[in-house]
Structure 1
Amino acid sequence: MALALSVSGCGMLPKKETPEQTAAASRFYPGKSIDQVRAASTEVLNLLAPGKMKYDAGAAGIAAKREYGYVERRMGYQGSMTTFYNVSMTAVSWYTVVFSEEAGGTRARFAVQTRADDQGSYWANPAIPEIHRSFRQNLPLDGRYGVADLKLFHDRVEYLLGLRPQWTSCSDVKEPGMPLEFCDRAGANDVGPAQP
């Protein structure tokens, strides 16, 4: 059983944060206060899932989570026959933004983690550690994921702060074969803020 879990990847611990992720997770916003960057960051998260984001009011920066359900298509075998079946899944994504004041502006570090489980299963996916509902710390990044979500978040914050001329959509950053938290998760919204 242990061999099967390690071969399938289910028994593996998350990989460490990559240098590329470390660089992409943090961005400096010149001439902007922590309150301005906090407001823009909150709006980016609210636009991702309008009315679905929950915040931890005790967090020093921003700590938010979004729960959602979806149906996953799976393949199985019975004897020599291949069968396909649907599994109802539940998932939760956690987001943190940590702010620090620097000379001439504000630095923000964004991180995201997602965990999904079968609704009818007692087995949790150990590849993504469970995070307590009232988490307040800076999330670690899982090295298995790319940097596009990190860049997309910061690009959108820059737009809301007036530092970027246009809203960055999913099609602007989509990499082949790399699912994005901001683009491919159930219920994610790619629409920018309403124009006056």
Structure 2
Amino acid sequence: MSPLVHSIVRGVVGLGLFAIVTAGVVGLTHSVTLERIADNRLASQYQALEEVVPASLHDNDLVDDTVTLSAAEELGQEDAFSVWQARQDGNTTAVILPVITHQGYSGDIALLVGIKANGELTGVRVLSHQETPGLGDRIEARKSDWIKQFEGLSLGNPPADQWTVKKNGGSFDAFTGATITPRAVVNAVQDSLEYFATHRQRLLEAPD
């Protein structure tokens, strides 16, 4: 084999080995990254669910205990969706509804709404939104306590005609310069309570 051919072969083999090693490193990094992303996502989900239904109300794993329901226009769910069940000693004590309202100022607002078996709200949290920073984003628990005012409320408390912002004659505060966003959340929470009242038996029954 001539020196030139030998040099070419050695270069090709070297490049091949480099490509194999590089692909292996990239693949391993990708796998580790995906696992980390999945773990972080699961941790975030745990945190959000626990904020909506506190640990004192359940002894089960909220993430794994769900029931699947058909599409619900009232909740902004166009396809089948999952509802989380909080249980103690095998009995459902509360449910967590995933809700999407299309009434936001800048787009959809995704919420988690926790409701006790007796129809009382355990909590509400915002999962995602596109509302104006410094104004509408105060619906986030980390920006203000506004979202926490729903805890303990229910249908009839306040009366049905009071489930809107004070600017419209209701019981709920709005934000200075931002009325549409809080009004959308209030309406969505009321819709959630009405949905629960209508589908209570199905929501509270144990999974098949």
| TM value normalised by structure 2 | 0.29
Greater share of helix residues, 1 or 2?
Answer: 2
Larger radius of gyration: 2
Quick one: higher RCO (CA 8 Å, sep 6+), 1 or 2? 1
Greater share of strand residues, 1 or 2?
Answer: 1
| TM value normalised by structure 1 | 0.31
